[in-house]
Amino acid sequence: MKILVVGTGYVGLVSGACFAEMGHHVICLDIDHEKIMLLKQGKIPIFEPGLKELVERNVQAERLLFSTDYKSSVEASDVCFIAVSTPSQPDGSADLSYVFQAANQIAEEMNGSKVIVNKSTVPVGTCKEVEKLIKLKLQQRGKRYAFHVVSNPEFLKEGDAINDCMKPDRIIIGTKSTRAAELMQELYSPFNLSHDRILIMDPASAELTKYAANAMLATRISFMNEMAGLCELVGADITKIRKGIGSDKRIGYSFLYAGVGYGGSCFPKDIQALRATAKKEEYKTPLLDAIEEVNQRQKNVLNTKILDYFSSELEGKTFAIWGLSFKPGTDDLREAPALNLIRFLLENGALVRLFDPVAMTKAKALFKKSPQIQWCKNEAMAATGADAICLMTEWKQFRFIDFSEILPLMRGRAFFDGRNQYHPAEMGAKGFDYFSIGQPVVLGAKASVEIASVS
């Protein structure tokens, strides 16, 4: 099948490459000329494990092309996916201007019957809006081509996107047309061999399923963060609570990690967009409101611990920041909790020494040159001369650090672990004053390890 994917970002590029890997002929189109130029030169504009090899293989096999030209791309395709960004507007609702722009340009160039598939995360009713828009454009052009608009939300997660795309838990297809459903089933048939993963439903349910899934995952994170705060006050340990509740099959262990709050390009904006949809319907969503409120509080939880430890004197103090991306496995910095902490430290006159295994280039573009910021080649360099280390992204390479080499490099001995990567007692025994999320504080500086409760 001949496929066009409009929008060559995290979703568009990964899905385009995966469709090509399954034997389809794919054109990935973007209005960002620089991005397409890089891709044509064999360079991948984002970090995603395995993506470079996948793209290379399919470009060589001539199943994957890149373009900025709507006319030739639309004309060459049977199915046009829309995978453009849907950022938040100031009121929290999804900005659909990129989706409508893409749909308009597809309609402008349609030369026959097509299926238009919306993969972007969009509020209920967007399928209908896109359908109206295409109908109108075709009328204006005096054309009467048959077309269907289908909702097909994407569930991949950055860092493991290829695996998610190749072996999805489910493939949701929202359409009321039997013809369009059959075509989508055929298109996805290579992904559906081991067992049936396809769920066909009406477009509104498909559109809402995507938001409901992200809201559910964010709920689990905020729930654990709320429990973590309580643990700190009553002297309990959130990692033990996780095991205690996760072992219940009805609950399970996934997404039950306390930390510095969720970030990324999806959860924050999708929760806001879902709340905005409910508000438009004059429907109260106290649970959704609380998920976000807890997350906002959680994003500042390390700031408070840092202020307490340094008696609010941060001017001239040096902080090593380990990890910048919003999660491991990606260079995506959108809504990354590390950015929030860095801005807080800079505002308070502190110096920051930053290191991330893959997100340094993107991070450098976000901060102005400043004598307060030092970009470091590795975690040891970041720790050199630091009063404290703050671990913000749980990259695997931070798991097995030889701390006996790190501590002597530092000026101080504080360790703020925003991802609960280490065992408090062990960090104390290594000489750190160790603060984490919902676990006991250990002051390693004291001769005997002291377990204290956090303020």
Taking the complex as a whole, the smallest distance from the CB of residue 190 to ligand NAD amounts, in Å, to: 20
**Whole-angstrom distance, CA of residue 301 vs CA of residue 44:** 35
Taking the complex as a whole, the smallest distance from the CB of residue 450 to ligand NAD amounts, in Å, to: 42
Taking the complex as a whole, the smallest distance from the CB of residue 400 to ligand NAD amounts, in Å, to: 28
Report the sign of the C-alpha dihedral through residues 86, 87, 92, 95, in that order. Answer: negative
Give yes or no: 18 in active site: no
CA 153, distance to chain mean position in Å, is: 15
Q: Which is nearer to ligand NAD, 199 or 233 (CB)?
A: 199
Q: Which pair of tokens denotes residue 444?
A: 């390693």
Q: Which is nearer to ligand NAD, 272 or 436 (CB)?
A: 272
Contact 110, 76 (CB under 8 A): no
Q: Which is nearer to ligand NAD, 115 or 156 (CB)?
A: 156
Put residue 168 in one of left, alpha, beta given phi > 0 → left and psi -120 to 50 → alpha: beta
Q: Which pair of tokens denotes residue 2?
A: 């001949």
Whole-angstrom CA distances from 234 to 29, 260, 415, 440 are 54, 20, 22, 10
Q: Which residues bind ligand NAD (CB under 6 A)?
A: 6-12, 29-32, 35, 83-86, 98, 101-102, 120-121, 154, 156, 158, 265-266
Taking the complex as a whole, the smallest distance from the CB of residue 118 to ligand NAD amounts, in Å, to: 9
Indicate the residue whose CB is closest to ligand NAD.
9
Q: Which is nearer to ligand NAD, 345 or 358 (CB)?
A: 358
Q: Which is nearer to ligand NAD, 8 or 393 (CB)?
A: 8
Q: Which pair of tokens denotes residue 293?
A: 């409120």
Taking the complex as a whole, the smallest distance from the CB of residue 121 to ligand NAD amounts, in Å, to: 4
* Residue of 231, 266, 376, 390 with catalytic role: 266
Q: Which is nearer to ligand NAD, 121 or 318 (CB)?
A: 121
Q: Which pair of tokens denotes residue 18?
A: 């995966």
Nearest to 445 by CA among 436, 437, 434: 434
Nearest to 319 by CA among 343, 342, 347: 342
Contact 121, 154 (CB under 8 A): yes
Taking the complex as a whole, the smallest distance from the CB of residue 8 to ligand NAD amounts, in Å, to: 5
Taking the complex as a whole, the smallest distance from the CB of residue 122 to ligand NAD amounts, in Å, to: 7
**Residues β-bridged to residue 452:** 441
Contact 348, 340 (CB under 8 A): no
**Whole-angstrom distance, CA of residue 451 vs CA of residue 429:** 12
Contact 266, 193 (CB under 8 A): no
Q: Which is nearer to ligand NAD, 69 or 347 (CB)?
A: 69
Q: 198-201 and 171-174 as β-strands: parallel, antiparallel, unpaired?
A: parallel
Please list the active-site residues: 266
